[in-house]
Amino acid sequence: MNLTLKIWRQKGPSVKGKLVTYEVSDISTDMSFLEMLDVLNEKLILDGDDPVAFDHDCREGICGACGVVINGVAHGPLQTTTCQLHMRSFADGDTIDIEPWRAGAFPVVKDLVVDRSAFDRIIQAGGYITAPTGTAPDAHAVPIPKRDADHAFDAATCIGCGACVAACPNGSAMLFTAAKITHLGLLPQGEAERERRVVRMVEQMDSEGFGMCSNEGECEAVCPKEIPISNIARMNRDFLKAIVS
Ligand code: SF4
Ligand code: FES
């Protein structure tokens, strides 16, 4: 495939950015979207130009690092991560717009790389449990109803990619924060800090400048791990319970 790419280029956080047009050729439909960007970057380096900065690590849909907005949609046309999106989702001759996550709480570092450390600080505020150290207990020592275990596991699949924030018109991080709170709050091991956790994590989320939820549902629609917004309702219930008790 031959493609035209319009890529957001920005040298640094306080420098004005702009879309720059590039042509790439001989792109295989089997390449991932990131491999297509690698082809562009190899060409830019050979030409003595500055390669496009983009974040990535696992390239297996696990680490959550690789998020970009493709043709106006977080992670592009499929509900998956950018590294798991393949060029067969595009057609020869297409023009593709590629931009970084757009959210006040995710400032641009360079080109397509944004600073998502606000998520780390939300986790630091309460995304942990207190457990005695020592040898690992038997797996069946603490019985957990299967429904709770499944629900907690589903919430734990959140990879912290930030697509939910990028897609939300309010730049809200509620789906991410709710997933982390649900994951720990549903298990007996997370019960001890349940009230403190929800209050601290929500307060940290607010202090980072993320917006509020207005039930748009855009977060759920782009989440590569299909985290449902019912987690947000659950977090709100937990938060209210914690502040009135
Ligand atoms: S809730 Fe979904 S979209 Fe948001 S950070 Fe987690 S995995 Fe990414
Ligand atoms: S590079 Fe790890 S999820 Fe895409």
pLDDT digits (tens, 9 = 90+) for 132-158: 788 888 888 889 999 999 999 999 999
Q: pLDDT at position 137, please? A: 81
Contacts of 38 (CB under 8 A, 6+ apart): none
Residues in contact with ligand 1 (CB, 6 Å cut-off): 158-164, 175-176, 179, 223-225, 227
pLDDT at 25: 97
pLDDT at 130: 84
pLDDT the model gives residue 138 = 86
User: So what's the pLDDT on residue 241?
Assistant: 96
Q: List the beta strands (DSSP E) in 102-195.
A: 108-110, 113-114
On average, the pLDDT of the chain sits at 96
Whether ligand 2 lies within 6 angstroms of the CB of 58 is answered as: yes
Q: Is 83 in the pocket of ligand 2 (CB under 6 A)?
A: yes
Both structure tokens of 74: 């977080």
Rg (CA), the chain: 20
| pLDDT at residue 202, as a whole number | 98
Order across the sheet with 73-74: list the strands: 18-24, 3-9, 95-99, 69-70, 73-74
95: confidence class by pLDDT, cuts 50, 70, 90: very high
User: Is residue 80 predicted with pLDDT exceeding 90?
Assistant: yes
Please give the pLDDT value at position 139: 80
Closest atom of ligand 2 to 67 CA is 4
Query: How many CB atoms are closer than 10 A to CB 52?
Result: 22
State pLDDT tens for residues 159-171: 999 999 999 999 9
Atom nearest to 67 CA in ligand 1: 8
Mean pLDDT confidence for 24-45: 98
Which residue among 35, 55, 56 is best mutated to probe the pocket of ligand 2, counting the most ligand atoms within 8 A of its Cβ? 56
Q: How far is the CA of 224 from the centre of ligand 1 (A)?
A: 7
Residue from 60, 223, 225 whose mutation best tests the ligand 2 pocket (most atoms within 8 A of CB): 60
Residues 150, 9: Cα–Cα separation, whole Å: 42
The token duo for 48 is: 């003595």
Q: Is the CB of 56 under 6 A from ligand 2?
A: yes
pLDDT category of residue 114 using cuts at 50, 70 and 90: very high
214 within 8 A of 170, measured Cβ to Cβ: yes
Residue nearest to atom 6 of ligand 1 (CA): 158
Ligand nearest to the CA of 224: 1
Distance CA 74, CA 66 (A): 11
Predicted pLDDT at 185:
93
